[in-house]
Structure formats: C-alpha cells, structure tokens
Amino acid sequence: MAEFTAGQRIVGLKSGYLVGERLGEGGFGLAFVATADDGRRVVLKQLRLARMGDWKAMELFEREARVLAALAHPNIPRCHEFFATDGARAVDPGELSGLTGDASLVLVQDHVDGASLAAWVAASTRTTAAQAEALLRKLLGVLDYLHGLHPPVVHRDIKPGNIVVTAAGEPMLIDFGAIQDRARRDSEVGSTSVGTFGFFPIEQVLGKARPASDLYALAMTMVVVLSHRQPDELPLDPSTSKVDVREACPGLPERLTRALDGMLEPAVGQRLASARDVLAVLDGEVLQPQAADIPVPKARSLPAIVSRVPLYTGGAAALLLYGFFFDAFSESELVSLSFLWLIPLAFGLGARLNDSIGGGLRWAVGATLLLGAFLLLVFPAL
C-alpha cells in the first residue's frame, strides 16, 4: 500500500487508527501521529515493503519490532500491536504472504506528550545539576532494564531528540532506531552508520554496538543538555581526545562529573561497563579496576635444610669427583662412584620441587634406577 496520509483510517488487529500528521521519516520508515478507536493518541510506524532492497531488511524489522513489542518499562512507550496490512485487511506479520499488492508492516506505540531534550536546548532552557542527575538516574534505570534482557537490547540512537520529558518530569526513551537503521544498513547502498553522528562511540562506527555504547551516547546527551553545545563544539582533553567534562560543564558535583567522565571514555574497555556501575559512581562509590589474577607463591611446609643438605652435598661431591680427582680414578670407578653424588642430589632436588620428603625419595629411586640401567645396559657396550 502507499504511504499513510492524514485522515486515512488504518485497521489493525486490535484497533482502528485515524492517521494524523507525519512525525518523521528515516530511510523507508515513516512515523505518524494517530488516534486509536478508544481515543488514545499513538504513533504508527510504517515500513513499506516495496521500498526495501531485499527480504532481509523486512526480517530485521520484524525481529526488532517483536522485541520492542515485548518491552515493559514505565519510561519506554508501550507497544500496542504489530501487524502487516495491504490497506484492505491486517494480518500477523507471519502471514504476510497472504496479502496482495504493496504491503506494509506497522508498529503501534504510545504517543508521548512532552518536550524533547533537544527542544530544551533549542529553547535555551537551562538544566540544573540536580535536574540532570535526576534525569540521568531515570534513564540509567531504562538502560539497566534493556541491557539486562536476553539478549540485551541496545538502543543505538540515544540523543537529546530521542528523550522526551513529560509534564510530570518523567524522561521517556523513544524511537528505537535500531529497527530502521539495522534494516536500512542491509538494504541501502552507502548507508553504514547507525545512530547520530557525535553521539555514538567508535565501536559503533565499526558496527560493534554494545550496552556500553548506549552509556557513551547517554553521557554525551547529558553534556550537550547541560552545556548547550553540540558534540563537535565540546572541549577535548588534548592528551586523550576525550570530552573534557569539567571544562564543558563547570560546577557539577564531583560524583556527577566522575560518572559522566567514566561514561565518555573513547576506548570501550576503559569505559564504565554498565548502568549499575554508573549508578554506583553517582552514589559515591569508587570503582576499582579489576585486578589481574596473580598467582600467590605457596608457603613451603618442608624445612629448607631437608632439601638443601643432600642437594648441596651431592653437588659438592660431583664437583670434587670430576673437578679435582678425575685423573685419580678409572672410567669404571668414576661411573660406579656416581651413586655417591647422584642419589643425594636427586633426593634434594625432588624434595625442594615437591616440598615433601616423599617427593625426594621418588626422585632418588628414579635416579638410582636410571643409573643402574645405564650400568647394566649401556656402559658395557661403551
């Protein structure tokens, strides 16, 4: 079917919807304000299948839409239904093949009444540190919920325009652009970035978005709201190329500065890893880097003298025999005298390495057997 138009009535699986003004467009996705049959204001997101390059894009849209349909959090708009329609009738997206003509997928969500943080900045509305921290805590709760799902849901496009604050002061995270952006990435030539430039970290540019990527975007959003400066206008630390939070937002409480600073680390491995970690910093906790496991030397229980006496005695005997009295003995006598130094040397070495007398005895017996085999099997043939 064609793009929705104002005044058009769309019939879904649960309700009918009277289409109002268009909210926006992204790739092949359109968003409209609409009124449901019961009077609720909702948002209709339309994905026209005719504008897709292949069915993979539709598969991605459907998969992500079903994830959104399962979300339940007070700071995320509710998803009411998800259906496919050709304009004449609506079916479950799984029955899409039963439709004829130009079909569309439609996602229906609550419409959030309020002003976006982008509108606050455009209107020069100043945000206090206390207000910013309250908003940040609420939004961290949203991310903790999303990232705790299995698999985690990564928003990928957190920015001032996608956070709407209601009249009651509740921030709502809207426009889960991962639906359209992931599909668009597979269906449009030259469309490689996911998110809004300036608000996403380097790993997201490389197509490796993860929960910590949302933390970076949220911190950048809060710094923009506090400073009224866009990402490319923010001061950078020349030694790290990281946004200098203290210079951009002077006068913030130290714990809020540390939290934002930790969220804005360019390297994902150095960034605060989870929403709970950020909340811990806001609560005044000092997170310590995880120390590498360093093996601790095991305390020895065997007295050192037990291994050292035979070890040093055997070594000294070997040195005297071969260093000073070598010419005083025949070759056969030298081999026979090996028992005098090899056995104590082996015992001392085994006891030291195994930290036990039993270990020393095993090494001594082994040395005796090897030397005996040498005398019986090898030496006569030399």
Report the binding-site residues for ATP: 45
**10 Å Cβ neighbour count for 205?**
15
Longest dimension (CA), the chain: 117
Question: Which two tokens mark 50?
Answer: 């005719």
Rounded-to-integer distance, Cα 11 and Cα 92, Å: 13
In the chain, the N- to C-terminal Cα span, in Å, equals 98
How far apart (Å, rounded) are the C-alpha atoms in residues 304 and 371? 27
- Which secondary-structure segment (H or E) carries 218? helix 211-227
Residue 226 near residue 127, CB atoms below 8 Å: yes
| Pairwise CA distance, residues 283 & 278, whole Å | 9
Helix (H) or strand (E) holding 287: none
Length of the chain: 382
What is d(CA 49, CA 195) in angstroms, rounded to the nearest whole number?
Answer: 22
Return the sign of the alpha-carbon dihedral for residues 161, 166, 172, 174: negative
Q: What interhelical angle do 357-373 and 304-323 show, nearest 10?
A: 30
Spatial CB neighbours of 318, under 8 Å, sequence gap ≥ 6: 341, 342, 345
